[in-house]
């Protein structure tokens, strides 16, 4: 019989910012194993292949290093430095309902491993995607967690995976000699019993790791937008006209390897200094929708406007005009490359991760400036 984790009611009392919907949790419970509401999993690493030697800036606390078997108490680290036979890595968001529900079970698993025969053979690391250390420390403190946590504030490690389909997303990495090998993965909730059963089977050699030659390579992971090219161009023209304060014509500019942007034309028909981009980002939470939006920027890299195409918040409710105006106010007149998301002041209420994804995509677009004609 698995050890009972801290109750969800206790977790909710300690986390006033996470009022979990029982109906939504029940829905998540009925999802098939390995599949979250976001659907597919498309990784850049196939089963049986070497997993990327991901690098992180630090762990949350000095004691986390010892839990990972690292002989220091601060500084950056790579997955390849972590000793042991099995490394369980969970990618999560503190704002994901399923991640919140799973956290106490992860803690039970962590404590059972440390105090049992798998100590030093199995390690657990969790990666808070789109979150800074300050948010993750609050999450861990409020839930009374002790397992190692590291931050992925700009979604870099999550994107390095490919398209995991959402969070919580857990990979099981095995090693006999050489690098960590991707042995198994799981999208969605797992209890401590499931985590322990998988871990034992892999460590004891009772689970065969079969190479998957078809699951690798770069893909366009963004979900379909649902607008034709003509409709996208029309939407971009209307948006740029609103931002410019007058009716403008636009031209489509194809940026090699980066998709397209739309450029407003000056009154004489010459290229102007105002651009728009339609962007999409996959959901982070396993029960959330993708985000699709427009934003405008100028040749100096300043954000000039924002408009949602389809963006949702808690309960997958579509953003209101007030929500859109709030985020536009947080973005406008800021330099794209310098954007740093602060959930306490930048997030639309009940839409923290959608807001974070939008900030991150706008920040990344700064790299396009040097490629524009």
Q: Residue 165's domain is classified under what CATH number?
A: 3.40.30.10
Say whether both 22 and 91 belong to one domain: yes
Are residues 194 and 342 located together in one domain of the fold? no
Q: Which of 34-38, 181-185, 195-199, 209-213 has the lowest mean pLDDT?
A: 34-38
Of the listed ranges 53-67, 73-87, 250-264, the one predicted with least confidence:
250-264
Q: Kindly tell me if the per-residue pLDDT of 14 is higher than 60.
A: no
Is 365 a member of any domain? yes
Instruction: Report the pLDDT averaged over residues 103-114.
Output: 97
pLDDT at 303 over 90: yes
Domain range for 45 is 8-203
Within 13 Å and on the Cβ side, how many CA atoms surround 246?
6
Question: Domain ends where: 161, 187, 203?
Answer: 203
Same domain, 170 and 95: yes
Same domain, 199 and 292: no
Tokens found for residue 100: 């919140």
Predicted pLDDT at 287? 74
Predicted local confidence at residue 9, as pLDDT? 41
Residue 13 lies in a domain: yes
Residue 248 shares a structural domain with residue 146: no
Domain boundary residue, one of 203, 218, 241: 203
Same-domain status, 132 and 34: yes
What backbone torsions phi and psi does residue 294 show, to the nearest 5 degrees? -110, 145
Its sign, for the CA torsion 351, 355, 358, 364, is: negative
Question: In this structure, is residue 220 part of a structural domain?
Answer: no
Same domain, 157 and 193: yes
Distance CA 25, CA 93 (A): 16
Residues 159, 42 share a domain: yes
pLDDT of residue 26: 30
Task: Name the least confident of 148-152, 160-164, 237-241.
Answer: 160-164
Assess whether pLDDT exceeds 90 at residue 186: yes
Whether residue 216 lies inside any domain: the answer is: no
Answer yes or no: are the C-beta atoms of 46 and 212 closer than 8 Å: yes
Report the percent of the chain where pLDDT is more than 70: 85
Please name the residues in contact with 255: beta carbons below 8 A apart, sequence gap of 6 or more: 261, 368, 371, 372
pLDDT bracket for residue 215 (50, 70, 90): very low
Is the pLDDT score of 216 beyond 60?
Answer: no
What pairing do the DSSP bridges indicate for beta strands 122-129 and 149-152? Answer: parallel
pLDDT at 326: 97
Residue 351 maps to a domain? yes
pLDDT band at 32 (very low <50, low <70, confident <90, very high): very low
Rounded mean pLDDT of 167-192? Answer: 94
- pLDDT for position 257: 79
Distance, CA of 352 to CA of 313 (rounded, Å) = 8
Query: What's the pLDDT band for 6 if we cut at 50, 70, 90?
Result: very low
- Token readout for 245 is 């304060």
- Tokens matching residue 339: 């954007």
Point out the domain boundary residue: 203, 219, 245: 203
Same domain for 153 and 270? no
For the cut 60, the answer to whether the pLDDT of residue 8 exceeds it is no
Task: Categorise residue 325: left if φ over 0, alpha if ψ from -120 to 50, beta otherwise.
Answer: alpha
User: For the chain, what is the domain count?
Assistant: 2
Mean pLDDT of 159-180: 93
Average pLDDT estimate for 159-183: 93
Task: Report yes or no on 350 lying in a domain.
Answer: yes
Calpha distance 329→338 (Å, rounded): 16
Same domain as 171, residue 40 = yes
Q: Is 157 a domain residue? A: yes
Whether residue 151 is predicted with pLDDT greater than 60 in this model: the reply is yes
Which pLDDT belongs to residue 223? 65
Residues 112 and 181 in one domain: yes
Residues 6+ apart with CB under 8 A from 372: 253, 255, 261, 263, 275, 299
Q: Are 124 and 106 in contact, with CB atoms under 8 Å apart?
A: yes
300-309 CB burial, b ≥16 within 10 A, e <16: eeebbbbbbb
Does the structure show a pLDDT above 80 at 235? yes
Is the confidence at residue 163, as pLDDT, over 60?
Answer: yes
Judgement on whether residues 44 and 79 belong to the same structural domain of the protein: yes
Give the pLDDT confidence score for residue 358 in this predicted structure. 97
Give the mean model confidence (pLDDT) for residues 95-123. 96
Whether 248 is in a domain gets the answer yes
């Amino acid at each position: 019989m698995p050890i009972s984790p801290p109750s969800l009611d206790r977790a909710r009392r300690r986390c006033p910012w996470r009022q979990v919907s029982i109906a939504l949790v029940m829905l998540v419970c009925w999802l098939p194993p390995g599949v979250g509401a976001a659907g597919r999993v498309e990784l850049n690493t196939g089963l049986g292949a070497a997993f990327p030697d991901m690098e992180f800036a630090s762990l949350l606390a000095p004691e986390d290093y010892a839990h990972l078997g690292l002989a220091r108490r601060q500084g950056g680290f790579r997955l390849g430095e972590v000793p042991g036979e099995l490394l369980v890595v969970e990618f999560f968001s503190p704002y994901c309902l399923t991640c919140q529900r799973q956290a106490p079970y992860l803690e039970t698993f962590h404590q059972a491993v440390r105090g049992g025969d798998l100590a030093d053979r199995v390690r657990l690391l969790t990666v808070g995607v789109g979150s800074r250390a300050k948010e993750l420390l609050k999450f861990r403190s409020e839930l009374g967690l002790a397992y190692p946590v590291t931050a992925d504030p700009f979604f870099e490690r999550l994107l390095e995976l490919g398209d995991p389909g959402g969070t919580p997303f857990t990979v099981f990495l095995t090693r006999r000699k050489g690098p960590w090998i991707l042995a198994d993965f799981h999208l969605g909730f797992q209890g401590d019993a499931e985590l322990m059963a998988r871990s034992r089977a892999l460590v004891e050699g009772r689970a065969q790791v079969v190479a998957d030659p078809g699951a690798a390579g770069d893909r366009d992971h963004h979900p379909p937008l649902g607008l034709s090219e003509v409709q996208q161009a029309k939407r971009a023209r209307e948006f740029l006209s609103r931002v410019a304060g007058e009716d403008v014509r636009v031209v489509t500019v194809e940026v090699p390897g980066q998709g397209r942007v739309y450029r407003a034309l000056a009154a004489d028909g010459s290229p102007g200094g105002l651009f728009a981009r339609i962007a999409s980002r996959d959901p982070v939470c396993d029960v959330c929708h993708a985000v699709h939006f427009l934003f405008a920027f100028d040749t100096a890299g300043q954000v000039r406007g924002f408009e949602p195409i389809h963006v949702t918040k808690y309960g997958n409710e579509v953003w209101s005009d007030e929500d859109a105006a709030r985020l536009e106010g947080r973005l406008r007149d800021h330099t794209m490359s310098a954007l740093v998301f602060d959930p306490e002041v930048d997030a639309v209420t009940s839409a923290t991760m959608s807001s974070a994804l939008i900030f991150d995509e706008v920040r990344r677009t700064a790299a396009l400036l040097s490629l524009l004609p």
